[in-house]
Amino acid sequence: MATSAPHIVEECRGVLLVYSNGAVVRSENPSFPVPVHDDGSVEWKDVQFDPINNLSLRLYKPRHVTSKLPIFFYFHGGGFCIGSRTWPNCQNYCFRLASELPAIVIAPDYRLAPEHRLPAAIDDSIACLLWLQKQAAGFNSDPWLLDYADFKRVVVSGDSAGGTIAHHLAVRFGSASGRADLEPVQIKGYVQLMPFFGGVERTRSEAECPKDAFLNLELNDRYWRLSLPIGTNFDHPFANPFGQDSPPLEPVEFPPTLVVVGECDLLTDRSVDYAKRLKQLGKPVEVAEFKGQQHGFFTINPWSESSAELMRMLRRFIEDVSARSG
């Protein structure tokens, strides 16, 4: 009996192919082959934080440091399916973060779907924060962190899927026991950059998203199909913080949180609604909208004027949250 050859059933930006027989093929090349702009003003190195899963992070610091600097986490995007700390668009963005905030920047990798469906990425990100706790407690501490980082001034940020990770980290560590797990590390705030939330019911910005958008509805849905647990829908708690089965957020003690959205991003309505509902719960959440900007504008072109304004905004945010007691 003849059988058909395996064929592609899912494709993500040319770097992830899923075949009808279940095989997954990943390209070693990034989906954003842009030049790396390394002017030497920022040093960087890779550090393994999870030997069991062979996960590493990329650590950045300004070359000339005269005082302890805040720690700024950057969890990359890619719909939980693609992306890496090594991709040049991420590296360019982290160069600018380290230089202009200035800060010690930590850019971790995490396991990707569909080989590792959620909650793998969330679990890995929790493990990375717990790794930082061990660093602060003096367990085989990296000299860059020991000499130049202020463990009491930590801001956790993420882009797209990384923004969703930031939400789940805020929930995990948003209690007295959660904060105790991180001592002496103190998370002062969170920045969700165009967070990748989902839901069964379409928002207006999703329904009206042009097909030629950088992140369109077809790709958005494909990411969720590949990353959520098999047999679940887009209202799963990993995707929708306000889904029927999602844990209540009233008890979560959110630090100050900045949600950044782009006017032309299909995720905008969902992100604005997320912030609005948290604010109604009394959480310290603010929204900043960038007019005319699409999804991920700050990594697509980290040297644009809009990206420069984002850097200024992030610097003010770090200064503001660092000044708060507790």
Catalytic residue positions? 160
The values of phi and psi at residue 261, to 5°, are -130, 160
Place of tokens 């095989």: 23
Strands 8-12 and 16-19: antiparallel
H helical segments located in the chain: 88-100, 120-136, 143-148, 161-172, 176-182, 204-207, 217-227, 268-280, 297-300, 305-322
Q: State the Cα–Cα distance between residues 25 and 4, nearest whole angstrom.
A: 19
Q: CA angle, corner 147, sides to 142 and 153, nearest 5?
A: 95
Structure-block tokens of residue 240: 């929708």
Strands 42-50 and 24-26: unpaired
Starting at the edge strand that comes first in sequence, how are the strands of the sheet with 16-19 ordered? 8-12, 16-19, 24-26
Structure-block tokens of residue 265: 């991003």
